[in-house]
Structure formats: C-alpha cells, structure tokens
C-alpha cells in the first residue's frame, strides 16, 4: 500500500438518523484505535508454562478522536446535540485505500479552546457503543 494523505482519514456522522453521513467540519487531525481485551486461561497444565489466551473472548472496542478549528457548522451543532442529549448515533470513519468502519459511537468528551490571537479550536472523543462493521474499499 502506498503512503496516504492524512487529510483523507475522515470522521463522518449521521446528521438525521437516516444514513445521511457528513464529514465533521473543521477537523485537522483524526484518529481511530481498536482494542481487544484478552481472557487468560493459563493453568498448571499449560505447556511449558506459557500463557494461553481464549480466542474470540473478551470485549472489543474502538475509540475515535479528532481535533480541529471550530466552524459552527451543522455538524458542530449536531455533535453538541449528540453529547448533551446522550445520543448514540451512527458514525463512519473513512480509512483511505483501506475501508469504512461504521457503527454506533457515544461522544464522551467535547473540548473548546482559543487564545487571544488565534482561532477557536475543539477536540472530540468518542467510544464505540455497539457492533461495528468494516467495508473494504
């Protein structure tokens, strides 16, 4: 796989609940991480004393974060509404030349910042809240 442009890693949210996904405005940096907890089933009978893990067990999760310039666009307004109403809507993460991850996420943190001689910025953090799907590009 060739090198990819970082600006092509997009976080999109469903604005209406009807599958109308739109890129969150003003983002400059985005990140998605996947995690899987392990279930240790090591016992005295484990060969050579090596740790054994139970495949397919444990909790899987994903987290998304992004930061950027506050634009006060419809996506900013929707993200604020999602956070304050405690909603768990569908999000999409577009990973260039790899695929699309889609599923329910909860916005767990929204931060706004600004300096006297600079632009207003914001940061979002989200946690998966259900089954995620992956569609290869």
Q: What is the CATH number of the domain that holds 111?
A: 2.30.110.20
Q: Model-level pTM?
A: 0.87
For a pLDDT cut of 90, what percent of the chain falls above it?
75
pLDDT of residue 128 exceeding 70: yes
Per-residue pLDDT, averaged over 79-87, amounts to 94
Give the separation between CA 136 and CA 113, rounded to whole angstroms. Answer: 36
Q: Does residue 118 belong to any structural domain of this protein?
A: yes
State whether residue 31 is helix, strand or coil: strand
Classify strands 121-128 and 133-136 as parallel, antiparallel or unpaired.
unpaired
Q: How far are the Cα atoms of 27, 47, 76 from residue 126, in angstroms, in the given order?
A: 14, 40, 14
State whether residue 3 is helix, strand or coil: coil
Domain that holds residue 13: 6-136
Give the separation between CA 48 and CA 94, rounded to whole angstroms. Answer: 43
Tally of domains in the chain:
1
Q: What local confidence, expressed as pLDDT, does residue 1 receive?
A: 63
pLDDT of residue 84 exceeding 80: yes
Q: Does residue 1 belong to any structural domain of this protein?
A: no
């Amino acid at each position: 796989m060739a090198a990819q442009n970082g600006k092509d890693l997009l976080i999109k949210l469903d604005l209406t609940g009807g599958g109308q996904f739109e890129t969150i405005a003003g983002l400059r940096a985005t990140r998605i991480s996947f995690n899987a907890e392990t279930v240790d089933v090591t016992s005295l009978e484990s060969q050579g004393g090596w740790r054994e893990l139970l495949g397919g067990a444990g909790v899987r999760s994903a987290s998304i974060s992004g930061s950027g310039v506050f634009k006060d666009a419809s996506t900013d307004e929707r993200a604020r509404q999602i956070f304050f109403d405690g909603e768990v809507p569908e999000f999409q993460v577009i990973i260039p030349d790899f695929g699309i991850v889609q599923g329910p996420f909860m916005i767990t943190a929204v931060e706004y910042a600004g300096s006297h001689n600079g632009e207003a910025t914001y940061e979002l953090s989200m946690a998966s809240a259900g089954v995620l799907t992956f569609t290869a590009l």
